[in-house]
Structures are given as structure tokens and as C-alpha cells.
Chains A and B, each alone.
Chain A
Amino acid sequence: MAKIIMDGQEYEVSDGISVVQAAAEVGVTIPHYCYHPSLGAPANCRMCLIELTPPGAPGPIRQLTTACTTRVGDGMEISNEAPRVKQARATTLQFLLAHHPLDCPTCDEAGECFLQDYVYEFGHDRSVYQEIKNVPPRKSLGPTVDLFSTRCIVCTRCVRFTEEISGGAEIGLMHRGVHDEIDVAPEKPLDNKLSGNVVDICPVGALVSKDFLYRSRPWFLDKKPSVCNRCSKGCNIHVESREGEVARLRPRYHADVNDFWMCDDGRFGYEYVNSPDRLRLPALRKNGELVPAGWRELIDAAAEKIQALGGDNTAVIASAWMTNEELYAVKRLAEEGVGTERIGLFEGTVEEEDEVFPKFVIERDKNPNRAGAELIFEDGLKTAAEALDGAKAAVFFGGIPDAPLDDALMDRLTALEYLLVVDILPSALTEAADAAAPGTAFTEKEGCFTNSAKRVQRLSKALPNLGNALAEWQFAAHLANALGANIEYESAAQITDDLASTAAAFNGAADEAIDWRGFCLEEKTDGEAEETAPDNWAYASRFWR
């Protein structure tokens, strides 16, 4: 720890961090644009100027210093309040706004724009610029990102992102001086799987997501922390929704999982959640056709069928896209309700190799909770095909959009005497089922995923269930109870606690112990790994939106 004096107050901050981060640690905002902990400090925005008195110096140094390039040292004195600091920041903002179009009313960023915020806090209230403004054109940088060049403040965060994190160096700085423009080379668009991140790191409204453009004002969005479900990495995200629809997904900082980033597969892979085709009502096959039915009717019918065909002959197929809690409820359904050892796992795509970028990895396993399923079912887990081998009936949990249902599996499933499918989207499978029940998408779930590094991470219920849909754990419990079990859960949190107390692998991972940084199942004894990782939590909580 280092002792610093900031604006007359003494603070203790971590060693070796930049002054911007140190100030964030103690709750002080030092405004900045170009600096980003994962992208270095080119010190080109000149916004974070401070008055610095180095340790032991008789007085402040003559020049103002950039806080982003200065590392804290014991006994350092920093002033954010000196008149010349305030003036320097105000004039920098004046320069930044000189060519800015001031089109906040039509700008996507308005409301979460650092230019707005800092001008409000540190800037002047009127412009003295009387000359002609530069008006560079709006451009498309690639399939996902648009650039409003007029709003650009040339902080070069996006340039450094494509150079250092995604590695393609697609975005560059063209021209010189006041004609500086962010652009891509002809025929070389920004088309990689991390492209969406440049929108997040853009501190102003210059880079916008084509997906989100003009869809909503940020202040209308309901923002809930969650975990991405598109691969086993388990990137921390925020689900931002408006009026019951997902508006966008954005990465949430996690030092040990995804840093500040997420991939486009996850970011833009939420359309199915908003699909108008989503299953909303339980349906039963009557006279050869699926017709809407009540839950009681469906569950009673299912229990009757399963009892008639025999629990031993019934397969329970869980999905690798279900939460730990749902999987545990399904396990109890299989063991206590149905009484079968035919437990299979239905899974999404698994690719040949991880997609590796210089500082980010998209994992090959496109199932968010395979690790959780393996830990919960332990040795009892079979593949879906194995579990179905010789079965007469099946309770099938799907919930994977565009799931690769191969013909062999389809044939097995359709050949069954009774098939109950819990899914979120209509498919060939739900069409073929004897009963189809609506489930929940990941934005509607409560519970946790366990990522490939055995970190249990929490999802929050960002959206209400659609129509009459029941959470999978509720459905599993109801069905088990109809089959004679006695499962009493009132919330997903209860299952989390139950899981933590009964399953050895989840020892200690009780509901209370899992915070928004997750709970690491393997490292819970030492926790060393967390300390060595670069720690930008304080920075992220203050500057990452």
C-alpha cells in the first residue's frame, strides 16, 4: 500500500497503479478519455492533467502531469482542485467540443457519454469557437459497427483495441492533425468476432453498434448483471432490456474471466430471446395436433404416461444450457420422481478449436454450463443417445436455439412412445412431441452457470417469463411431485443452498457466498490466482458502463 495525499486528504491506495486507478479506488473521478487499463495510456487526450508533487519535492512540479501515465508513490501529493488543473481540463474540453457537432438529441451515446458527463462536471457552459467546424462523413466500419466521425475525439482506444486485443489492426488513424480520422482500409472492414467491443470502449458516440443504433435511449434500459450463455467461458455481462425485450448485451468487467470484453457471438446472439415465435403456452397432443393446455393438465398427463410406461424406461435429458439449479432439480426429478438411471445431456455445438485472439479467447465449447452438469450428475451422466437407447419415453429439456439435432437422435426421439419436450422455440422436435412445455431463456433464468474454469457465476432475472412459461426447476419439481416425490422449493436460491450442502463439488457455494464476481470451486482454499490478476475492479466500477 502507498500513502498519497489527494486534494489535502490522505489515502492509502494499492502500490504501482496509475493515479487514475488510485483515485478511483478512493472514490475520486479523474476524467480521462484515451486511458484504459487494458489498452495502455498514450496520454493523448490531455484530460487527466493533475498537479503533482513527487515524494519529497518541495512543491508541485511546474508542468501539469497526466494522471494516467503517473504511477502512485509513497508520499506523493496530487491536486485535482488547483485552479490551473481546473482550467486545463476545461480548456481541453473546449478543444474537444470545438469540432463536435453537439448532436446529443440524436446521438445513441447521450446519457452514457463521457463527453457529456465531463463537460457538465469540468467544462465551460458555452462555446467560444467561432470558426468553421470539420464535418467528416459517417462511415460503416464493418458489419457490426458504424462510425460517426464528427463525434470522434481521436482517443485511439479503438485503434489500440484492434492492435492489442483482437490483433487484426483493422482500425487505423488516417490523415494528420485536425483532419485525423478513424477509418478502416478499403476492402478490409472491421469484421472480427470482437468487433462489438470497440463500441463499448468508445467514450463518445462515435462508434455505434448497428444492432443497437436508434433502438433505445440508455436511460430507458433496465440493466441487470448476468452471464453470457454462448460458450463455456462465461463472460460477465449486463443484460439491458426495455419493455420485456433484450435491447443489448454488454460485457461486465471481470478480472479473471473476460476482462472488459465479450465476443460478438454472445453480444449479438440474443435475437432468439426476442423472437415472436417463442413458446408461450404448454401444449398437449390431442387428436394428432398440439393444442394449448393448462400446466396441471400437462403435468398430470405426463406423470400418468411415465408411470404407465415405467420409470426405468423413461429417459430424462437435461440440457447443457440449463443453470446449476435447474440441473439439480432435474437430477432430483430423475432420481426421486421418475426413478431412472437414464439421464442424458443434450448439448449445443462444440467446435474443433478455441478461437484465440492476442488477449482474448473464445472457447470451443458452446455450452455455458457443461461443467455444472458434469459436477452435478457426476458419473450418472450419459449422452442423450445413450440415455435414449431402449427407452420408451423421455422428458427432454432443450432450450438451445439452433441446436444440432442430428437425424439419429431425431429418429430415436420420434420413435419414442411418449415424448415431453421443454423448450423455448418451436422446432421439428416440439412439432413431433406429445407434449411441449415452454421454458425460459437465459435472460429469464435465476441461478448460476459454472464455467469451464469451475467458476460459479450468477445470472439475474432480467425479463419476466413469457406467457405461461415456468422456470425449468419449477416444472421439474412439479412433475417430480406428481410422480410421488416431495420437492419443496420456493426459489432458485433455495436450490443453490441445497446444492451447496449436498453436492461435494459445490461445497461452500451457497447463495450468500456467490457474489457478482462468482465463486471459484477449485481455488476456494487459496484464492491466490485472484490476487495476481490485474485488478481493475475499482476502475471498472467507476468508469465502465
Chain B
Amino acid sequence: MGKPKERRILYENIDTPDMHTLDVYRQHGGYASLEKLFDMDAEQLLNEVRDSGLRGRGGAGVSAGFKWNLMGKGEPKYLIANADESEPGTFSNRYILQHKPHMLIEGMIIAAWSLGIHKAYVYIRGEFTLGKKRLDAAIQEAYAAGILGESVAGHDFALDIYTHAGAGAYICGEETGLIESLEGKRGQPRVKPPFFPAAIGVFMQPTMVHNVETLSNLPYIISNGTEWYQSLGAVYKDTPRGVDPMNTGTKLYCVSGHVEKPGVYEVEMGLTVRELVELAGGVRGGNEVKAVIPGGSSAPVLTPYELDVPVDFTCLQMAKTMLGSGGIIVMDETTCTVRALENLMDFYAHESCGQCTPCRVGTPWTRDIVARIEAGKGRPGDVDHLIEVANNVANIDTFTWNTICVFGIAVSWPAVSFARKFRPEFEAHIEQGKCVILPVSEAVAPPEENYAWPQELPELERKPTWDY
């Protein structure tokens, strides 16, 4: 097997100078999908997207076609592009906004036409000033060129796109929190049921919320067809019931941490963690990998024993973690996992919206326990205590949460997985009353002891074509 290679589709030509302008984008085939688009009706498009196997790239991995199917019938409907990319370790959308904003607009036109939407919003993270500037300019250009407005690209279809800058809250990346924030309220997620955005969303109307990356996939699916899209990515022979076998397309992996060449890598899904780390230039200074967070900071951590897990929806779910937003954080042997967890918990304690009890109290509580252990003030039994408190917010073993939104999971999963998988290092902190960094082999609990789901990974039927 050769060296794994990138397969750029969304990021194709992203480094081309002035790619953010309409002219350059058009020179490279931009807005080509619109020619095909208006010949297709809503049902055709829905089938197209469903059959392509496109899954939401924001975190939950819900099938886009499935979501479109649930869209309510009320008028008006709204489309929201979620550009609040707030998950630590994730930075792929910002480059799309900065360098290929027209791709997002094109994707939004496709989604809007398919669902009969005439008003769309882009909720941009407040810190993305350049991205917002570029997107705003791109929208202006598109209006001037007749791509947006009363008649989109000369067809009898009106679409307006508005941008809205968030104020930087993590929870406003959660779709109902985003909707509340967009409405001008406190960014607090809504209770589901009944407030599923597809039924009751922004301004109490049916709303489709998609991640920027998901929307950016649409032009390529429409231009090249579902079969082409299905040919990308991993396919598994048989997966247990309940696990969605669709892993089509490419994914923007944001590899960060202790690698030689951190950055966004677009590859077909199905590459293993080890291959991804290799793609990013390997671990810095030839060090050993100690821990890898595979899907943004909310995903349960992987140990060196699990580096051969393919990084896609199916396999990560079977390894009891998740693809999430595709933010891969690599930690090498110099990392103290307790310190790493404290850092994460500090973030979550700061970002909890405080609406519901388990999260409001549980998040700083777990942070305090971890901080205590890291500061050398841990007490015997603290690791179990930590796991119990975190599991009371959201239980990793039963996949349930007592909170309103899945923020509870985002807190509990890393906490429980770090504490279980790196238990020896946690215990060493408590015993020695100070921060100690154990060698990798000693720091990690053996898999059979602490991995809740020791699963056989499904066999890959066809390796994708990254080997060319």
C-alpha cells in the first residue's frame, strides 16, 4: 500500500489566488451545478441527495436526505447554514468561508431550491471576521451577477441570503441554540421534542439547518451525480443493525496537535487514524502517540491501541466514539492526559449555557474534580467519582443524556473516556500528589479492562481509491 493521499473536492483550488471572487470561482467550474439544478424537481433532488449517502458534517452525522424528508410543510421555510464552527480542534469551515465562499452560496441555492425556501441565513462565528467579510462580499457579487435575489440565475425562483455574526458562544453551534441566538435571544437550546427545527425552527417555522461543509458537498453531488459520490469513501460488508453504513464522500479532517504538518486534509472516508497522522507528517519529532481525539473535543478519546480504527461514521461509532466535526487532535507522549482533560473541561464549564440542571452544575463539577487531581489534591476514589458525576450528566454506556441538548454528551464522553482509558495516569496523579506524565505504555489502561465496547470492526469491502 502506498502513501495515503489527499483527495481534494471541496478544497480543490482552494489555494488559487482570489478564489473567493466570483470570476475566479467561475473559471474553475463554479456555479456549474445550477445549470442542471433547475431542470430537476424537488423529489428528484431529494432522492439524489438521499441516495448519495451524504451525512451531516456538523457532528451528529444525520443523513441529509432523511432530514430533508422531515421538513415541515408550513410557509415560509428557512435555511440556515451553520458556520458557527466552535468545536475545539475544528477549523475546516473557516477556510471555505475565507477562500471559497461561493461554494457555500451554490450549495445553499441547491438546498433552497430543493426545499422551496426563499430566505436563508448564514450564522457565522463572530471571530471569523475575514470569513464574514469575504462571504458578505461574495453575496454582494452574487446579487450583482443575478445569482441571488428575485430570480436566481435567471430562473423563476427568489432567494435571499443574510449573514449573522454570532457572539462566540459554543452552544450557538447547536442548531436550536443557534436558532434562538438568530432570533435575538439568549443562546439556549430548545427542548426536543417539540422543537425539531425541521418542524418548528427559526421564527417558529420549518427550518433546515446544515453545516457549511454539508452544504458545500451539494454542488458536487448535483454536478457529478450520486453514483460518482457513492464511489467515494468506505463501504462495509455488513454492519450491525442500527449503525448507518453510509460513509460516502470526502471529509475535511482538521488534524491538529502534535503532528509535523497540522492542517485541513481532505480525504475519502475510511482512512485509519494512523494513516491520517501519517498524512499530517507524523507525530512531531518522531514521538509516540499517546492519545487521539477523533472528532472534535467532544468525542471520546482513542488510545494508541485503537489507531487502526478507520475514521468514518460507522467505525468510530463502533469504537464508541464519533466522527463529530472531524477535528482530530493528536497528543504525543509528552502530554499529561489529566492536564489535557482539565483543559477540555475548563472549556465546557465555561461554555455551558446554564439552562438545565445536570449540565449547569455537572460541567464545572467535573472540571473541579479534574483540576483537583491535576493540582495534586486528588483523593482516593476520585476517578470513580469523576466518572459517576460525568455519567450522571450523560451516560456513555447507555447512550442517554439527562440534559436538554447533547452538550451533556460533549462533557461526559471525553471525561469518562479519558478517566477510563488513562486511569493509571489519573491514579498516579492522586497517589503521588503531583502531576506525573507516565510513559505511554504505562499510562493507558489495557483495552480489555476499560473499553466499554470491545467491538470487532466491520470488514472493509473495498478500499477507497486513495491508494492511487
Contacts and interface: CB of A to CB of B under 8 A. Distances in A.
A98 B362 CA distance: 9
Nearest to A47: B357
Interface string A249-280: 00000000000000000000000000000000
B339 interface: no
Interface string B167-193: 001000000000000000010000101
Contacts of B191: 41-43, 66, 69
Interface in A84-100: 84, 88, 91-92, 94-96, 98-99
A175 B356 CA distance: 14
B358 interface: yes
Contact of B358 (A95, A129, A132, A177): A95
Interface string B370-392: 00100000010000010000001
A88 B169 CA distance: 28
A195 B399 CA distance: 43
Contacts, number: 92
Given A62-B398, A92-B402, A177 B357 contact: no
Interface in B340-367: 349-358, 360-365
B363 A178 contact: yes
A287 interface: no
Contacts of B457: none
B360 A129 contact: no
Interface in A32-68: 41-47, 49, 62-64, 66
B398 A154 contact: no
Nearest to A173: B186
B369 A91 contact: no
A47 B398 CA distance: 19
Nearest to A180: B354
B392 A177 contact: no
Contacts of B353: 176-177
A175 B350 CA distance: 11
A252 to B, nearest CB: 30
A178 B361 contact: yes
Given A63-B400, A88-B402, A92-B402, A99 B352 contact: no
A96 B361 contact: yes
B350 A95 contact: no
A145 interface: no
Given A44-B404, A131-B368, A98 B361 contact: yes
B392 A131 contact: no
A95, A130, A154 — most chain B CB neighbours (10 Å):
A95
Given A43-B404, A46-B403, A178 B364 contact: yes
Given A63-B401, A91-B358, A69 B349 contact: no
B354 A178 contact: yes
A44 B364 contact: no
A128 B360 contact: no
Interface string B398-427: 111111100000000000000000000000
A128 B193 contact: no
A62 B401 CA distance: 10
B263 to A, nearest CB: 32
B354 A131 contact: no
A119 to B, nearest CB: 13
Interface in A152-186: 153-154, 173, 175-180
A97 to B, nearest CB: 9
A41 B350 CA distance: 26
B46 to A, nearest CB: 27
Contacts of A180: 354, 360
Contact of B402 (A62, A69, A91, A178): A91
A153 B356 contact: no
13 contacts: A45-B356, A46-B402, A47-B357, A62-B398, A63-B400, A84-B398, A91-B358, A131-B365, A131-B372, A176-B169, A177-B354, A178-B363, A180-B360
Interface of A: 41-47, 49, 62-64, 66, 69, 84, 88, 91-92, 94-96, 98-99, 128-132, 153-154, 173, 175-180
Interface of B: 169, 186, 191, 193-194, 349-358, 360-365, 368-369, 372, 379, 385, 392, 398-404
Given A91-B392, A179-B354, 14 more contacts: A44-B357, A45-B356, A46-B358, A49-B402, A64-B400, A84-B400, A95-B361, A99-B361, A131-B364, A132-B368, A176-B354, A177-B353, A178-B349, A178-B354
